[in-house]
Amino acid sequence: MITDRETELAERLIKLHDGRSYRELQELSALPKDPNDDGKITEDMYLDMCRDIENEMGALESIESIDCLPRNESKLTLWKAKYSKSDIKVFWAIGFDSETLKVQDVMVQW
């Protein structure tokens, strides 16, 4: 089950993919458990992703919860979002740390 707080955070995270909110997005994100992990999203990567979403899908219109997958120390929440330029729904998978509710994983697919 997805809590109200997780819903609020997931919706906020999806809305922050607007090309103007990199720093705020970083505040929601957990630090990598491995300091040598180079999987961190850079500001340039973030801007590229936001441009792709805007150019191909348009403006965000709605977000709907699909389900969640509990894991040992985290929870993977699944979402679908509707954008203005497409009838295709965008799939978002957002993983939260169970204790801190910091974002650990994000996957976007359309």
pTM summary value: 0.89
Reduce the DSSP state of residue 97 to 3 states and report it: strand
Q: State residue 36's pLDDT score.
A: 67
CA gap 48, 60 in Å, rounded: 17
Domain count along the chain: 1
Instruction: Give the domain extent around 29.
Output: 4-109
Domain at 104, CATH number: 3.10.450
Q: What is the residue whose two structure tokens read 């929440």?
A: 77
DSSP state of 110: -
Q: Which DSSP helix (H) or strand (E) runs through 4?
A: helix 4-15
Digit-by-digit pLDDT tens for the chain (110 residues) are: 899 999 999 999 999 999 999 999 999 998 877 666 666 788 999 999 999 999 999 999 999 999 999 999 999 999 999 999 999 999 999 999 999 999 999 999 99
Residue 53 Cα to chain centre, angstroms: 13
Residue 67 Cα to chain centre, angstroms: 14
Q: State residue 9's pLDDT score.
A: 96
